[in-house]
Chain A
């Protein structure tokens, strides 16, 4: 990839806030919602993924304290982050939910970013506190709509919230049956076309 700073249109020495601001503006500009039914949708989607990749790269580099581009040493600042997200993720994975919650609880209110809300949501989810989990996931998604992890979490919960139950005969009902019926017709017409190509006819009337 090109210089990630160039993609976001900012200087290498920009502060974290500036990076975030630039990122958010670009996301607003290229968000797929803006390009529905627009021929430029593909281009915008490509641009979006570039922007995301660039932002992720900058943030991971800054988080680990390293500087972009190996030999470049001028701006190697170390960033003390309010919490260690990898550690908290590990704790949640291994089921030490109370410990993870404690670490998250220690983070002061102004340091709570989208990931904080996502992690807190995961803690609640593991516990079975689904209402709180939903609120936190929604907040994480609202703060960073382009993040695949957050949007997957919220869309799963939104599906359940609207009454979906995995494996239920009820939600298998209407929609998919309809699809099957449509598929069946399409297949028949397709077969008919093939027959007609070869000089035969499967459905005489069309």
Chain B
């Protein structure tokens, strides 16, 4: 996961921010308890959002207490406790992270490869544990990952097809939340569209690198002026950005339709903030290149 789904802090009330942070801390602790100390570093805002939606779908009040943690050893912070049952979110996170690392080893540059190789042993045990808990999800994500490799090999894939694997993963993850019938269908579409958002944003984020390395990126293939060898010309970059803007806007517009129909009530303000402001803010940062400079993975929320 990439950390693209996060709240827009300036528009948050302090009480909302406290809850958001408590969920994040609770997840971090839950992962530590369940899967071992090292896995905690892999937590991202995306998973915090998943946990928040899962709490909201189950209509659970947050039960939290003051705890110490390694990031804040001298100050106790609010932290969601075990009663919230964040196990689905943390197990899903494990499965995702494991596959992401494997994917990095397969097709990233030397530096990422080495980093992923070092990290993988710490995650294979936890992955097996999580996959045992959620076998169906592990299978779905595995097959989506395979599809991604296939698509990246065929040069002609358009944007919609390229989004499909990530979108499918998110479909499986959100579809696995409790709730049957129409609610399940809505959650699945919600996940699908979020996956699209993540993929397109990530593609735009990596555009220069992918162009340099000749890696697959659907945004490099959109029709328009031809690009120079080393770096993308300003004109070409403008074309790509405006195409990405349209795709993102279409995706978010549709996401909002589904979100309204989902009609989640608990933690509504925080979810509203993430959906309506956070996502656009992240995309805006990625678009202007500000996102990369910041701590991308967002290992911890700093107050």
Which A residues are within 8 Å of any B CB, using their own CB? 124, 127-132, 134, 157, 159-170
Partner of B158, one of A132, A134, A167: A132
Residues of A within 8 A of B257 (CB): 166
CA distance A149 to B142 in the complex (A): 40
Q: Is the CB of B247 within 8 A of A131?
A: yes
Q: Cβ of A166: which chain B residues have Cβ within 8 Å of it?
A: 253, 256-257, 259-260
Size class of the B contact interface (CB-based, 8 Å): 20 to 34
Q: Are A130 and B158 in contact (CB under 8 A)?
A: no
Contacts of A134 in B (CB 8 A): 246, 250
Q: Does B193 contact A (CB under 8 A)?
A: yes
Q: Is B174 an interface residue (CB 8 A)?
A: no
Asked if B272 lies at the interface with its beta carbon under 8 angstroms from chain A, I say: yes
Residues of A within 8 A of B158 (CB): 131-132
- CB-based nearest A residue for B258: A166
* A169-B167 in contact (CB<8A): no
**Across the interface, do A128 and B196 meet the contact criterion of CB distance under 8 Å?**
yes
- Do the beta carbons of A161 and B250 come within 8 Å of each other? yes
Whether the Cβ atoms of A132 and B160 lie closer than 8 Å is yes
Q: Is B201 an interface residue (CB 8 A)?
A: no
Report yes or no: B254 in contact with A169, Cβ–Cβ below 8 A: no
Taking the complex as formed, is B148 at the interface, i.e. its CB lies under 8 A from any CB of chain A? no
Task: Report A-chain residues with C-beta under 8 Å of the C-beta of B247.
Answer: 130-131
A167 touches B259 (CB 8 A): yes
In the complex, B77 has a CB within 8 A of chain A: no
CB-CB under 8 A from A132, the residues of chain B are: 158, 160
Query: What residue in chain B is nearest A168 (Cβ atoms)?
Result: B276
- B29 interface contact, C-beta 8 A: no
Q: Write out the residue numbers on chain B whose beta carbons fall within 8 Å of the beta carbon of A159.
A: 253
Interfacial chain A residues near B149, Cβ < 8 Å: none
Q: What are some 7 contacts across the A-B interface (CB < 8 A)?
A: A128-B196, A134-B246, A157-B253, A165-B276, A166-B256, A166-B259, A167-B259
Tell me whether B250 and A130 are in contact (CB under 8 A): yes
CB distance from A206 to the nearest CB of B (A): 40
Flag if B254 contacts A130 (CB, 8 Å). yes
Cross-chain contact A168 with B256 (CB below 8 angstroms):
yes
Decide yes or no whether B159 CB sits under 8 A from chain A: yes
The contact string, 1 if C-beta is below 8 Å from chain A, for chain B 151-168, is 000000011110000010
B203, chain A: closest CB distance, angstroms: 13
A160-B254, A168-B256 known; A124 vs B276 contact (CB < 8 Å):
no
Cβ of B192 under 8 Å from chain A: yes
List chain A residues, Cβ under 8 A from B250.
130-131, 134, 157, 160-161
The 8 closest A-B pairs by CB, nearest first: A160-B253, A165-B256, A129-B160, A168-B276, A130-B250, A166-B256, A167-B260, A128-B192
Shortest A47–chain B CB gap in Å is: 35
Q: Which A residues are in CB contact (< 8 Å) with B272?
A: 167, 169
- Bound Cα distance from A160 to B193, whole angstroms: 14
Q: Is B249 an interface residue (CB 8 A)?
A: yes
Which residues from 239 to 264 on chain B have a C-beta closer than 8 Å to any C-beta of chain A? 246-247, 249-257, 259-260
CB of B189 within 8 Å of the partner chain: yes
Contact residues in A for B275 (Cβ distance below 8 Å): 165, 168
Interface residues of B in 112-171 (CB under 8 A from A): 158-161, 167
B232 at the interface (CB under 8 A from A): no
Do B159 and A160 touch across chains, with their CB atoms under 8 A apart? no
B276 lies within 8 A of A128 (CB): no
- Chain B neighbourhood of A124, CB < 8 A: 160
Say yes or no: is B1 at the interface (Cβ < 8 Å to chain A): no
Question: How would residues 196 to 217 of chain B score, 1 for a CB under 8 Å from any chain A CB and 0 otherwise?
Answer: 1000000000000000000000
Docked pose: A142 CA to B61 CA in angstroms: 51
Chain B proximity of A204: nearest CB distance (Å): 42
| CB-CB contacts below 8 Å: B266-303 with A | 272, 275-277, 280
Of all chain B residues, the one with the shortest Cβ separation from A157 is: B250
Tell me the complex Cα distance, A170–B253, Å: 13
Given contacts A130-B254, A131-B159, contact A169 B249 (CB under 8 A): no
A169 proximity list for chain B (CB < 8 A)? 272, 276
Decide: A163 and B277 in contact? CB cutoff 8 A: no
How many angstroms from the CA of A129 to the CA of B254 in the assembled complex? 11
Distance in Å: Cβ of B36 to nearest Cβ of chain A: 36
**Would you call A128 and B249 a contact (CB within 8 A)?**
no
Q: Which of A128, A157, A170 contacts B189 (CB 8 A)?
A: A128
Is there an interface contact between A128 and B167, defined as CB atoms closer than 8 Å? yes
Q: Which residue of B lies closest to A129 (CB)?
A: B160
Q: Which residues of A contact B256 (CB under 8 A)?
A: 165-168
A165 CA / B252 CA spacing, docked (Å): 7
CB distance from A57 to the nearest CB of B (A): 34
Known contacts A130-B160, A132-B158: A163-B249 contact under CB 8 Å: yes
